[in-house]
Structure 1
């Protein structure tokens, strides 16, 4: 026992311990991806015992879901995309998607999400199902064409490619081009997929 009456070792839970665990997990998922992140490593980074992480989260999957909370509600994203003229939907998609990536918190979360999707079949499945239900289907419905899901899927390939090149790989000049110019260049391509 120490002079303060506490036993040595990891600190107990405090008022924001859960938040600190989530932040440590977010950083670990962003740096290492889903497969290489462990509950023990997250606990170590947060300065708590692994049992305390398990107290708040039943599994690594649950911790991931909490840590990777996308900075905006996917249903709200879909609502913003479909609200407006069809001939401007490509611009709205580019603006909303890149807007999430441009915020520091959003970028950290999205990097972690992308890295985890490519290292875990389960995370990829969860994301695929969630994105399809909350974003792809609502956008496809407003297009009102037989191959709407294919069209929205092609848009997804452009967005994912852009995000990888700009935010993960840092390929120039895409990595440093100003966001408005990038949206101006990307929007017509997305629009062509959707309504062309």
Structure 2
């Protein structure tokens, strides 16, 4: 089987996301985006319909990856607790693609309604997975949303505090465990 070579567009896509994260999605023009990626505006249009589609594809991949992580954490492990596993995986995912976490926190509202609906659907699936695998079905659905928001925002916030990667992961674990403990002891409404 022959492996397809990576195109210039594919190899520079993460740079485009970093530009969005750095300057803000609404502040980046298509011309500026193409220049930053090292492609022409025409080449950019052969790969995506516009910058919003590029943002949507990145966020969709981000949330699909989080959904996979939550699924892996739900499986029983011999030595590591689900919260530890999730914290480590979230920390590693953040270190690989910090701009995606930042864009998910800040720029999700820039998507068109159809794209936002797809992202919201993925977020609901992740929240449900978090609630059932980490807290239990007996708690309110809001518990999953709370956990998802922590997973989305904690890596971004902790990176801004200048903590080394290992301390960030440890802090994510500590805060998630504290949240989980509180959610498990919440009375049903």
**TM norm structure 1:** 0.69
2:151 is the counterpart of 1:162: no
Q: Which runs of 4+ in 1 moved over 4 A?
A: 121-126
Matched, 1:120 2:116: no
Contact 1:90 1:190 in 2 (8 A): no
Q: Deviations over 1:2-39 (max 9, x none)?
A: xxxxxxxxxxxx97232245234222112122222232
SS at match of 1:84: coil
The alpha carbon displacement at 1:144 in A equals 1.7
> 1:192 is matched with which residue?
181
Q: 1:180 to 1:121 in 2, by over 3 A?
A: closer
Please give the alpha-carbon distance, in whole angstroms, between the structure 2 residues aligned to 1:159 and 1:74.
Answer: 9
Q: Which has the higher helix share?
A: 2
Deviation by residue 1:102-128 (Cα, 9 ceiling, x = unmatched): x2x3223323333323x6264766533
* Structure 1 unpaired stretches of 5+: 1-13
> Compared with structure 1, are the counterparts of its residues 190 and 164 closer, same or farther at alpha carbon in structure 2 (3 Å cutoff)?
same
Equivalent in the alignment of 1:181: 170
Q: Who is 2:75 aligned against?
A: 83
Structure 2 residue 122 is matched with structure 1 residue 130:
yes
Verify: 1:19 aligned to 2:31, yes or no: no
Shift of 1:145: 0.9
Alpha-carbon offset, residue 57 of structure 1: 0.7
Shift of 1:192: 1.0
Partner residue in 2 for 1:44: 35
Q: How far off is 1:166 after superposition? A: 1.0
| Greater Rg over alpha carbons, structure | 1
CA 1:121 to 1:66, structure 2 compared with 1: closer, same or farther past 3 Å? closer
Which has the larger displacement, 154-163 or 57-66?
Answer: 154-163
Correspondence for 2:161: 171
Give the TM-score taking structure 2 as reference length: 0.71
Q: Which moved more, 1:39-48 or 1:178-187?
A: 178-187
After superposition, the C-alpha distances for 1:36-56 in whole angstroms (9 at most, x for unaligned) are 223221112123321221111
Q: Give 1:63 deviation, angstroms.
A: 1.4
Question: What is the distance in 2 between the residues matched to 1:181 and 1:46?
Answer: 35
